[in-house]
Amino acid sequence: MSNELIKSIEKEYLKESLPDLAPGDSVKVKVRIIEGNKERVQAYEGVVIRLRGGGINRTVTVRRVFQGIGVERIFLLHSPKVESITVIRKGYVRRSKLYYMRERSGKAARIREKVVTNTAASGKKADKK
């Protein structure tokens, strides 16, 4: 669907590097917000429960429980409003969309940490464990 000409226009607006995000990862997003006429950067931390879209339209949904209330924010990854996004912890999950997290709280809402082994011999298989 996406045409080469459109891609070349989008390219100017794409960020050069973005971290490798996966569902289950705990991330810290720094968002620029405008208060009055001042601009400042606010940090938002939570778990990636959904990644969708491609190219300039790629978004990430980050969930956190704040004062007992679940909050989900959707960030347009290539938006200049998203100053940075960093992975704090890789999570091990078996779904690509973690909507089940909405029904869970406390201990049930834990996500196992993904152990990343970078040895060439173990390759992708070890990556998944």
Question: Could you tell me which residues are beta bridge partners of residue 113?
Answer: 91
Site map (CB under 8 A) of another protein, residues 62-101, x = contact: --------------x-xxxx--------------------
Interaction between residue 122 and another protein (CB under 8 A):
no
CA-based torsion, 15, 118, 47, 50: positive or negative: positive
Smallest distance, Å, CB 64 to another protein? 23
Smallest distance, Å, CB 128 to another protein? 34
Say how many residues touch another protein, by CB under 8 A: 17
Q: Tell me what percent of the chain is helix, strand and coil, each rounded to the nearest 5.
A: 20, 40, 40
Residue 101, both tokens: 């997290």
> Residue 46: which H helix or E strand, with range?
strand 38-52
Site residues, another protein (CB under 8 A): 1-3, 5-6, 8-10, 13, 32, 56-57, 76, 78-81
